[in-house]
Chains A and B, each alone.
Chain A
């Protein structure tokens, strides 16, 4: 069974378009994350959600907006796509204990976004 799944796996789109990436976890975790990995493999956290509350919000453009309909899903919406948004986006989840991230994060397979 897939623990953390993302759709689509590949996304090719034109500049200026609006797109969404979906993420679902079946681990029963209470915290989900979105990461961006650039061409140099550098991983940077973008957002995390804990019980439907945004608890980390890195300085990402407000064109990016996470939406969590329930604790098993955290979707990423991107408006007015730019060339620099091209990257691989990873969703992850973890079970946060006592308000601390002591536990491992489980990552999805990634979504490769290419903006033309």
Chain B
């Protein structure tokens, strides 16, 4: 399943499928990007980050892709599990150290 971030804030996928959550950013000077996961009733939790000198970074079951040309960031979750259900935020920061969060995408995993 795939979302377009700000335009489709809800993404529903079947357990075991791969998920893609998208994020568009506007500040071309941003050079550090983070994906956070926020479960219900909890604070955001760091998932993975990427610097602007990279276009891909992999973690455990997660991959972040950065396309600076179109100012687009995506989070791919492999073999999505029920525990992945949460709201996912992208965040960007630039030289003025002002970290800005995207609107968030709610991921729902169906068993």
Chain A residues with CB under 8 Å of chain B are 4, 40-45, 55-56, 90, 92, 96, 99-102, 104-110
Indicate if B25 sits at the interface (CB-CB under 8 A).
Answer: no
Instruction: Known contacts A55-B97, A56-B98; decide if A105 and B32 are in contact (CB<8 Å).
Output: no
B38: chain A residues within 8 A (beta carbon):
41
Whether A43 lies near B89 (C-beta < 8 A) is: yes
B residues touching A (Cβ–Cβ < 8 Å)?
32, 34, 36, 38, 41-46, 49, 51, 87, 89, 93, 95, 97-101, 103-104
The B interface, classified by DSSP as helix, strand, loop or mixed, is strand
Please tell me if the beta carbons of B46 and A101 are within 8 angstroms of each other in the complex: no
CA distance A45 to B51 in the complex (A): 21
Some 5 contacts from A to B, beta carbons below 8 A apart, are A4-B43, A44-B101, A101-B97, A101-B99, A107-B45
Q: Are B97 and A56 in contact (CB under 8 A)?
A: yes
CA distance A98 to B99 in the complex (A): 16
CB-based contact A109/B42 at 8 Å:
yes
Asked if residues B97 and A41 are in contact (CB atoms below 8 Å), the reply is no
Task: Output the least CB separation between B36 and chain A (Å).
Answer: 8
Q: How far is the CA of A104 from the CA of B93 in the complex (A)?
A: 11
A45-B99 contact given A101-B32, A102-B32, A104-B34, CB 8 Å threshold: yes
Which of A41, A43, A104, A108 has the most CB atoms of chain B within a 10 A radius of its CB? A43
* Chain A residues in 8 Å Cβ range of B32: 100-102
Are the CB atoms of B98 and A45 closer together than 8 Å?
A: yes
Q: Which residues of A contact B95 (CB under 8 A)?
A: 100
Given contacts A41-B103, A110-B42, A110-B43, 12 further A-B contacts (CB under 8 A): A42-B101, A42-B103, A43-B44, A43-B104, A56-B97, A101-B32, A101-B99, A102-B51, A104-B46, A107-B36, A109-B42, A109-B43
Which B residues are CB-close (under 8 A) to A41? 38, 87, 103-104
Chain A's closest residue to B104 (CB) is: A41
B108 to chain A minimum Cβ distance, whole angstroms, is: 14
Shortest CB-to-CB span from A7 to chain B, Å, is: 14
Closest to B100 in A: A45
Interface pair B103/A40, CB less than 8 Å apart: yes
